[in-house]
């Protein structure tokens, strides 16, 4: 047993010891919170020592405020001892990781590809012996390292890996907000505080020690450091009233007082160490020599070590506490801090990237030479996978730039990168600054596009749509067609979300069609279809049909083509295109866009009857949205969840969620989402047999004067509207609606609309025509539309039985029951079962499937394993470690009552 020797920390040490001793059977993560100086660092150091004592591997890192802009600096710290093991990773992951760490040159690595590489590297190392990753001051790690650490921490519960990170109270961090287990380090109680003080202030009187106890308030760092400051006070100072200055500031003053006692060279060395983020002894000494004008050696640190400000460990200089670094930087005047950065820049000739960073922090006024270097440097940050560092470099470059137009261009470029991070706040700040500069015509257009990026859910605003089209035309005259298409897609999305009127929609389409770009250009097709999904549906459908389904498109092109297919109601094509996009985005580690693609897929899977896949995609989308810092429950995804609950017959859940969506969407009259709200309500009441309520809700989808009207989104409800009308006695009332939909169907070849109309015609037909219409509908190829086919068979079986043809009704009813059970359409399956009983068929009781016990993620893993993918391949696709995949399969097999992977396919077919 290790003697931690930390007074008053029995509870915290026990918690850490318990988590470490659970390895290797259970991994996980732990967040340690607390105020500055409260003892977090000591606890983390104790955890690392215990891990090594019991034979585990401890990997350590500490975040430094000055390192926050250096890409993957924190990651490099804790992986440095094991980076040689990267050779065990798949080639693409190895390349991403080594490129991010600057070990190898390579293309810009996607953050989540790096994260997956780190996860698999730690999991691989953990097969030899458990790994404990200990990271202090996580909030001061660079953003890329924080994101990777958070990604890993969410996924190691089934690996022999424990991640322990310390966070200072009051600091935001994705690691702190990841929902991980945590505990707060509280102040020491009186007995423990006196124990600590007795070892540090035995020479002081009891009265003095009592005064320090009051000042320290149980903070261990204060109990250690305040006695030294107390000794320097005279009698008058010791009798002063208790300070109202925050404890952190008093501790910084105590450290700063020791800095003031240092000689010139020692003070120079300490200042250089404070502004240097690499902590390398040799470069700190080289820069100290430049700053002081005299050659410096390691002896210059003797006095700072004696003053307990820092330590020199081999080739590294480490401050005793982050407050020491901040105290030094606050104590030194600005001119001295600028000079220290300038000295470091001169000492870093062999490292142009870092030299430029320090040059940028060594000047106050404009400097175009450094500004140009910074703009060039930002591409290095991008290659290393740190977008936040690139944004800082561009923003600082703009601050140093004398030419107003160049300054604005650099701010807008930073804004584009901020958009890639999903940071609406940062984009707004950057374009606000850019708006104060003398932008070129094209840059003003680019600024308008950036303003539009996060406005997908605003009210329609036809005026704004027309303004964007005008800006797009001016940009087209300048030849920047990429920018034009971005502006048009933004305008089109306004038309989709809310009613902008026919003039605005037509204007977007006209500008898009006038562009001298190929008709197959993905963004052109997306803008055209999203703006005018009905009137341009035939054009878009024709172009998509002529494009090779196996074409070599990149992930974003596939996303846009899938968006176009979805917009015109071609669900089958949309699913195929979006699935290919999702696969490429997974491979590339572009999880931010992946979550958008997955959300689009949900709707199409629902209407095609693949509800299991819709649930899996929804669950994965929420998980990835959490990883990428995007809202887990956007209003749009909530609307799809409400529809799914309605289809499944979970009436109360559907109605509750629909009300939540309505509260959000109704405020801005977002017709698209309000249409989804009414559809969810109509489905909830329809599947529970409340046909009149269902009809009233669904009828609103087809009233152009109703806020729930959306010319394309209403296609989703046609089949269900017809069913509600038939069962509620509203056939005649529904006739004008169906007549209008038939007219629309002559304009657009939308597969969704035409297939729904097959059902509606048959269900609402007079008896003399019904059987022929059922035969016609069932004669179509509905192999990719099992829900529509099953509902047609159910309706036809019901019609046959009502017409005393019980024997004839059994075949379509049996087929309907089988499909509806497979889909999970419980309410309609029970109707089919009841009809079969009424037809005279003897029915066995429904048996629950073991597959119902699997979670969405387990079901997806089972499917991939049944397709022949290895654990490693499944892990790469789902961003899990192979061991986690294996652990899931270990639990899946007994649930499904199988023993081998070879049995999975047959078992899954039973669903």
Pick the last residue of a domain from 184, 199, 232: 184
Judge whether residue 863 has pLDDT over 80. yes
- Rounded Cα distance between 781 and 785, Å, is 8
447 in a structural domain:
yes
Q: Positive or negative CA dihedral for 357, 358, 363, 364?
A: positive
Residue 846: pLDDT band by 50, 70, 90 thresholds? low
The tokens of 200 are what? Answer: 């540090």
In a domain, 640, yes or no: no
15 and 150 share a domain?
Answer: yes
Residues 214 and 332 reside in one and the same domain: no
Q: What is the pLDDT of residue 244?
A: 42
Instruction: Report helix angle 352-360 to 387-400, nearest 10.
Output: 50
Q: How confident is the model over 168-224, as pLDDT tens digits?
A: 988 888 888 888 999 999 888 888 888 888 887 777 777 778 877 887 788 888 788
Section 321-339 average pLDDT: 87
Q: What angle in degrees, to the nearest 10, is found between the helix axes of 786-802 and 751-763?
A: 10
- Residue 909: band (very low, low, confident or very high) from pLDDT cuts 50, 70, 90: confident
| Mean pLDDT, range 23-42, rounded to an integer | 91
Q: Rounded distance, CA 733 to CA 620, Å?
A: 42
Which residue carries 């690499």 as its tokens?
278
Compute CA distances 844 → 364, 588, 809, whole Å. Answer: 83, 49, 18
pLDDT score of 904: 86
Confidence at residue 241, expressed as pLDDT on a 0 to 100 scale = 44
Residue 416 included in any domain = no
- Is position 371 within any domain? no
The answer, yes or no, to whether residue 269 has pLDDT greater than 80, is yes
Same domain, 545 and 482: yes
CB 760 within 8 A of CB 745: no
- Does 598 reside within a domain? no
The three-state secondary structure class of 308 is: coil
> Do 377 and 316 form a contact (C-beta atoms < 8 A)?
no
Indicate whether 560 belongs to any domain: yes
Looking up residue 873, the CATH number of its domain turns out to be 1.10.10.10
Between the two ends of the chain, the Cα-to-Cα distance in Å is 53
The C-alpha atoms of residue 895 and residue 908 are separated, in whole angstroms, by: 12
Q: CATH number of the domain at 696, please.
A: 1.25.40
Residues 162 and 218 in one domain: no
- In tens, the pLDDT along 454-479 reads 655 455 689 999 999 999 999 999 88
Of 172-186, 233-247, 343-357, 833-847, the range with the lowest mean pLDDT is: 233-247
- Both 179 and 204 in one domain: the answer is no
**Is the peptide bond prior to 210 cis by the omega test (within 30 degrees of 0)?**
no
Residue 872 scores a pLDDT above 90: no
Burial class (CB in 10 A: 0-12, 13-18, 19+), 739: exposed
Q: Kindly report, residue by residue over 235-261, the tens digit of the pLDDT.
A: 444 444 444 445 667 777 778 778 888
Q: What pLDDT was estimated at residue 83?
A: 93
Q: In which order are the strands placed within the sheet that holds 182-184? A: 57-62, 131-136, 161-168, 28-34, 182-184
Q: Which domain holds residue 700?
A: 646-764
- Band (pLDDT 50/70/90 cuts) for residue 112 is confident
DSSP state of 60: E
Which residues share a beta bridge with 133? 59, 163
Q: Is 331 helix (H, G, I), strand (E, B) or coil?
A: helix
The pLDDT score that the predictor gives to residue 457 is: 45
Q: Cα 748 to the chain's mean position, in Å? A: 36
Q: Among the listed ranges 17-31, 121-135, 834-848, which one has the minimum average pLDDT value?
A: 834-848
Radius of gyration from C-alpha coordinates of the chain = 33
Assess whether 547 and 689 both reside in one domain. no
> Is the domain of 476 the same as that of 561?
yes
Residues 200, 321: one domain? Answer: no
Q: Which alpha helices (DSSP H) does 729-825 contain, by range?
A: 731-745, 751-763, 767-778, 786-802, 806-823
Domain boundary among 320, 347, 364: 364
Q: Residues 6 or more apart from 197 whose CB is under 8 A from it?
A: 209, 212, 213, 216, 223, 227
pLDDT at 895: 86
d(CA 780, CA 179): 50
Three-state secondary structure call for residue 135 = strand
In angstroms, what CA-CA distances link 236 with 115, 225, 240, 253?
57, 20, 7, 18
> pTM of this prediction?
0.78
Predicted local confidence at residue 290, as pLDDT? 95
Which residue did the predictor score with more confidence, 235 or 580?
580
Q: State how many domains the chain has.
A: 7
Name the region of 868 (left: φ>0; alpha: ψ -120 to 50; beta: rest): left
| 237 shares its domain with 129 | no
Are 88 and 162 found together in one domain?
yes
Residues 98 and 207 in one domain: no
Q: Of the candidates 516, 522, 567, which has an alpha carbon nearest to the alpha carbon of residue 543? A: 522
Alpha-carbon distance 404 to 406, whole Å?
Answer: 6
d(CA 393, CA 387): 10
Residue 283 lies in a domain: yes
Q: Which two tokens stand for residue 881?
A: 């470690």
Give the pLDDT confidence of 589-613 residue by residue, as tens digits. 777 788 888 888 999 999 999 998 8
In tens, the pLDDT along 696-721 reads: 999 999 999 999 999 999 999 999 99
Closest to 573 measured CA to CA, from 534, 591, 594, 600: 600
- CA–CA separation, 704 and 24 (whole Å): 62
pLDDT band for position 668 (cuts 50, 70, 90): confident
| Better-scored residue on pLDDT, 102 or 869 | 869
Element (H, E) at 62: strand 57-62
d(CA 217, CA 236): 22
Last residue of a domain, one of 184, 209, 234: 184
Question: Could you give the C-alpha distances from 666 to 126, 244, 445, 645, in angstroms and in order?
Answer: 52, 50, 31, 21
Is 609 domain-assigned?
no
Q: What is the DSSP track for 623-686?
A: HHHHHTT--SS-HHHHHHHHHHHHHHT-HHHHHHHHHHHHHHHHHTT-HHHHHHHHHHHHHHHH
Q: How far apart are alpha carbons 503 and 465 in whole angstroms?
A: 10
Is residue 281's pLDDT more than 80? yes
Question: How much is the pLDDT for 374?
Answer: 93
Cα 418-423-425 angle, rounded to 5 deg: 110
What share of residues in the chain are helix, strand, coil (percent, to 5)?
70, 5, 30
Average pLDDT, the chain: 88
Residues 736 and 857 in one domain: no
Q: What is the pLDDT of residue 215?
A: 77
Percent of the chain with pLDDT over 70: 94
Residue range 386-440, pLDDT digits in tens: 788 889 899 999 999 999 999 999 999 999 888 877 677 788 899 999 999 999 9
Residue 103 has pLDDT above 90, yes or no: no
């Amino acid at each position: 047993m290790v003697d931690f020797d930390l007074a008053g920390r029995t509870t915290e040490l026990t918690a850490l010891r318990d988590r470490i001793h659970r390895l290797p059977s259970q991994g996980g993560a732990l967040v340690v919170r607390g105020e500055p100086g409260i003892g977090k660092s000591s606890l983390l150091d104790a955890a690392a020592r215990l891990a090594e004592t019991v034979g585990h591997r401890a990997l350590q890192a500490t975040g430094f405020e000055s390192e926050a802009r250096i890409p993957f600096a924190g990651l490099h710290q804790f992986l440095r001892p094991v980076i040689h093991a990267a050779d065990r990773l798949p080639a693409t992951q190895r390349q991403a990781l080594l490129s991010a760490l600057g070990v190898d040159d390579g293309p810009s690595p996607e953050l989540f590809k790096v994260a997956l590489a780190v996860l698999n590297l730690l999991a691989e190392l953990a097969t030899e012996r458990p790994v404990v990753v200990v990271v202090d001051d996580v909030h001061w790690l660079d953003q890329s390292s924080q994101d990777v650490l958070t990604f890993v921490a969410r996924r190691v519960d089934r690996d022999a890996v424990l991640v322990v990170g310390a966070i200072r109270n009051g600091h935001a961090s994705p690691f702190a907000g990841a929902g991980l287990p945590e505990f707060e380090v509280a102040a020491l109680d009186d007995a423990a505080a006196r124990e600590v003080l007795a070892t540090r202030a035995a020479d002081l009187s009891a009265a003095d020690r009592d005064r320090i106890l009051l000042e320290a308030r149980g903070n261990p760092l204060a109990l250690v450091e305040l006695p030294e400051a107390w000794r320097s006070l005279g009698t008058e100072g010791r009798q002063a009233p208790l300070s109202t200055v925050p404890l952190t500031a008093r501790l910084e003053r105590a450290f700063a007082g020791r800095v003031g006692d240092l000689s010139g060279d020692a003070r120079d060395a300490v200042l250089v160490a404070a502004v240097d983020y690499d902590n390398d002894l040799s470069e700190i000494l080289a820069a100290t020599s430049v700053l002081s004008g005299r050659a410096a050696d390691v002896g210059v640190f003797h006095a700072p070590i004696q003053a307990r400000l820092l330590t020199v460990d081999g080739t590294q200089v480490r401050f005793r506490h982050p407050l020491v670094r901040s105290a030094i930087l606050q104590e030194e005047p600005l001119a001295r801090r600028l000079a220290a950065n300038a000295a470091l820049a001169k000492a870093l000739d062999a490292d142009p990237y870092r030299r430029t960073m320090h040059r940028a922090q060594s000047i106050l006024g404009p400097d175009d030479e450094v500004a140009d270097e910074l703009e060039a440097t930002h591409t290095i940050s991008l290659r290393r996978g740190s977008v936040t560092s690139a944004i800082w470099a561009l923003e600082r470059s703009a601050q140093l730039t004398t030419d107003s137009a160049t300054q604005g261009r650099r701010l807008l470029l930073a804004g584009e990168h901020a958009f890639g991070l999903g940071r609406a706040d940062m984009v707004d700040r950057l374009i606000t600054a850019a708006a104060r500069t003398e932008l070129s015509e094209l840059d003003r257009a680019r600024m308008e596009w950036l303003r539009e990026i996060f406005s997908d859910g605003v009210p329609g605003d036809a005026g704004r749509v027309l303004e964007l089209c005008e800006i797009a035309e001016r940009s087209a005259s300048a030849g920047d067609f990429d920018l034009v298409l971005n502006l048009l897609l933004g305008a089109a999305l306004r038309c989709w979300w809310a009613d902008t009127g026919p003039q605005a929609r037509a204007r977007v389409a006209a500008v898009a069609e006038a562009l001298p770009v190929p008709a197959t250009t993905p963004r052109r097709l997306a803008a055209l279809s999203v703006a005018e999904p009905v009137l341009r549906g035939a054009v878009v459908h024709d172009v998509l049909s002529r494009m090779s389904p196996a074409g070599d498109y990149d992930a974003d092109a596939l996303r846009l083509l899938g968006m176009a297919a979805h917009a015109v109601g071609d669900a089958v094509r949309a699913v195929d295109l979006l699935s290919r996009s999702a696969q490429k985005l997974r491979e590339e580690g572009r999880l931010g866009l992946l979550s958008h693609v997955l959300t689009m897929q949900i709707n199409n899977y629902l209407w095609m009857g693949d509800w299991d896949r819709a649930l899996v995609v929804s669950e994965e989308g929420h998980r990835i949205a959490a990883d990428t810092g995007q809202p887990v429950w956007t209003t749009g995804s909530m609307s799809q969840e409400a529809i799914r609950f309605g289809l499944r017959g979970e009436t109360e859940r559907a109605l509750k969620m629909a009300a939540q969506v309505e509260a959000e969407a109704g405020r801005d009259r977002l017709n698209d989402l309000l249409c989804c709200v009414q559809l969810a309500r109509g489905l909830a009441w329809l599947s529970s047999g409340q046909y009149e309520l269902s009809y009233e809700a669904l009828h609103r989808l087809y009233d152009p004067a109703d806020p729930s009207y959306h010319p394309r989104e209403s296609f989703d409800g046609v089949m269900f509207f017809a069913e509600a009308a038939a069962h509620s006695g509203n056939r005649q009332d529904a006739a004008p609606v169906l007549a209008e939909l038939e007219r629309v169907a002559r304009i657009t070849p939308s597969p969704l609309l035409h297939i729904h109309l097959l059902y509606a015609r048959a269900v609402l037909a007079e008896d003399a025509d019904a059987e022929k219409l059922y035969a016609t509908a069932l004669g179509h190829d509905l192999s990719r539309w099992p829900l529509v086919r099953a509902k047609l068979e159910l309706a036809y079986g019901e019609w046959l039985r009502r017409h005393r043809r019980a024997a004839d009704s059994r075949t379509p009813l049996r087929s309907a029951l089988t499909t509806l059970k497979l889909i999970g359409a419980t309410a309609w399956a029970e109707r089919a079962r009841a009809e079969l009983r009424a037809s005279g068929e003897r029915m066995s009781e429904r048996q629950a499937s073991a597959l119902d016990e699997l979670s969405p993620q387990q079901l997806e893993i089972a499917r991939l394993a049944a397709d022949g993918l290895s654990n490693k391949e499944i892990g790469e696709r789902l961003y899990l470690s192979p061991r986690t995949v294996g652990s899931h399969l270990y639990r899946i097999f007994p649930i499904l009552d199988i023993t081998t992977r070879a049995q999975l396919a047959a078992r899954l077919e039973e669903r």
